[in-house]
Amino acid sequence: MKHLLDHTIRSAADGLDAGAFSSVELTKAYLQQIRGLDMALHAYLDVFEGTALDFAHASDERRASGASRGVLDGVPIAVKDNILISGHRATAGSKILETYEATYDATVTKKLKDAGAVFLGKTNMDEFAMGSSTEHSAFGPTKNPHDHARVPGGSSGGSAVAVAADMCVAALGSDTGGSIRQPAAFCGIVGFKPSYGRVSREGLMAMASSLDQIGPMTKTVEDAALLFGAIHGVDPHDQTTVDGGPVETTLPARLEGVKVGVPRQAWRGDGMTPGVRAQTENALAVMKALGATLVEIDLPYTDDALAVYYVLMPCEVSANLARFDGMRYGRREPAETLIKTYEKSRGLGLGEEARRRIMLGTYALSQGYYDAYYRQARKVRTLIRRAYRKAFEDVDLIATPTTPSIAFALGEKLSDPLALYLEDVFTVGANVAGLPAISVPCGLDDGLPVGFQLVGPSMADAAVLDAAHAFEQAMT
């Protein structure tokens, strides 16, 4: 029999349905694992010892009376701390929200509650999701379970580690420029960013509203499909949600007839370490062996997507974080005047990286610079979207590494923000163009996980999951 901590959503649901174990037993096993490991890894900001067991009891009663709500009922999951769960603290990794308690459920929270999921707690993250290492959390960094001296990636580092170290069955993250996929790659798990608009952002603390998307972080692609199936859908509270229809994954074993684009611009030159190149080129060979056709393609503006991202994102950040001013909620630092109260509350409440991005955005939006930065970045975004649309006329999916390197050492890139930003080079394109993208583990380099990324056309979320599933099965 499988150890309780080895379960996927699917196998846990099967075990619960068969009566092999209860949700309470399963939940207790994960809480125990968290107690044992979290001192060292710091994946969680809050653990819901009491309410998790209440949820688990309720789930067991439902199942006993034949009223199970389906595959997620009784399954213990973790939630990134920028997603609201009513009555629980939501800090988004920031001092300014250290004592903030969510007043309502995010739409994804509501959907998971309706599906019967058990919330184990809230996971650590870079402050307001700004970072690629989880070192920018005001509450201390999360460690990579494969090597505690290395970062887990970010910003959804806590969720990635919780999944990778068996401290939950699955987790939710959010992805603005790679924040689900990059930590998934660094920790050796599956991370899926859905098409923009497929998952409601209501109750997700906004970082960059035109780019943010909530998505699953799981042990298997099938689990990612199951979790995505539970959280997607149109929401009257988020006008950017679109009806993408039901998630019709077939989870095939072969990839005959699937054309995979291999963009020259991403694969050429020295854009990745030799170890990452070896593993991801092998991943391409696996795709081919599964029957997929590999096509070298031209994807212009690949590098420019990063520059577009680092203009548009800070602009939206500067607007979205204006609400954290110490007035209606969060930390207030009294000073002589109103304006000094704002400055002090934000100066002491927000970390340096958050302040850096607010200032960058303020600069790019200020008079005299707006056209050169913000407007120009928006126009280049249109060119990038067109380039992807054109590429997808010829291919079904686009394949790249998820990251240029494996997990780096804690502290290595802290003093050089630009070096950290360059980490996002392969992932930001999908956000800038609003496309579905997944990172799946494709091997080890120097004992550390490497991620393989597949990107699909807008709303082709199922095709991305299907191809990733076939790939994952071939790798195991």
Partner 1 sequence: MALNREDVERLAALSRLSLSEEESKRMEQTLDPILDYVGRLSKIDTTGVPETEATPVPPERLRADEPMSVDPAFRRAALSNFPDRQGDLLRVPGVFEHPKG
Residues 301-340 that bind partner 1 (CB under 8 A): 301, 303-304, 307-308, 310-311, 318, 322, 325-332, 334, 337-339
Stretch touching partner 1 by CB under 8 A, among 61-69, 118-126, 145-153, 234-242: 234-242
Residue 113 is a binding residue for partner 1 (CB under 8 A): no
List the structure tokens of 129.
């999701």
- State in angstroms the smallest separation of the CB of 139 from partner 1: 19
Determine which residue in the list 71, 172, 207, 360 makes contact with partner 1, applying CB under 8 A.
Answer: 360
Sequence-distant (6+) residues with CB within 8 A of 360 are 310, 314, 318
Residue 103 is a binding residue for partner 1 (CB under 8 A): yes
Determine which residue in the list 253, 347, 370, 446 makes contact with partner 1, applying CB under 8 A.
Answer: 347
Strand partners, 141: none
Binding letters toward partner 1, positions 115-144, x by CB under 8 A:
------------------------------
**Does the annotation mark 111 as catalytic?**
no
Q: Is 174 exposed, middle or buried (0-12, 13-18, 19+ CB in 10 A)?
A: buried
DSSP state of 197: T
Outline where 189-303 has alpha helix (H).
221-231, 264-267, 274-289
Would you say 233 and 209 are in contact if contact means Cβ atoms under 8 Å apart? no
Task: Tell me whether strands 190-193 and 170-175 are parallel, antiparallel or unpaired.
Answer: unpaired
- State in angstroms the smallest separation of the CB of 329 from partner 1: 4
Residues 378-437 that bind partner 1 (CB under 8 A): 378-383, 385, 416-418, 421
- State in angstroms the smallest separation of the CB of 397 from partner 1: 23
Would you say 383 and 301 are in contact if contact means Cβ atoms under 8 Å apart? yes
**Does the annotation mark 155 as catalytic?**
yes
Residue 94 is a binding residue for partner 1 (CB under 8 A): no
Lay out the sheet containing 76-80: strands in order across: 44-47, 118-123, 76-80, 170-175, 213-218, 190-193, 437-445, 448-455, 397-401, 259-263, 293-297
Closest CB to partner 1 among residues 258, 391? 391
List the structure tokens of 218.
């799981």
# residues contacting partner 1 (CB under 8 A): 65
Closest CB to partner 1 among residues 63, 381? 381
**Does the annotation mark 80 as catalytic?**
yes
List the structure tokens of 443.
């091997």
Taking only Cα atoms into account, the Rg of the chain, rounded to an integer number of angstroms, comes to 21
Determine which residue in the list 358, 397, 464, 467 makes contact with partner 1, applying CB under 8 A.
Answer: 358
Angle (nearest 5°) at CA 223 between 220 and 228: 130
Task: Tell me whether strands 259-263 and 293-297 are parallel, antiparallel or unpaired.
Answer: parallel
Determine which residue in the list 57, 113, 264, 356 makes contact with partner 1, applying CB under 8 A.
Answer: 356
Would you say 93 and 102 are in contact if contact means Cβ atoms under 8 Å apart? no
- State in angstroms the smallest separation of the CB of 276 from partner 1: 22
Residues 174-203 that bind partner 1 (CB under 8 A): none
Q: Is 20 exposed, middle or buried (0-12, 13-18, 19+ CB in 10 A)?
A: middle
Which residues make up the interface to partner 1 (CB under 8 A)? Answer: 86-87, 100-104, 236-237, 239-240, 301, 303-304, 307-308, 310-311, 318, 322, 325-332, 334, 337-339, 341-344, 346-348, 350, 352, 355-356, 358-360, 362-363, 366, 372-373, 375-383, 385, 416-418, 421
Residues assigned a catalytic role: 80, 155, 179
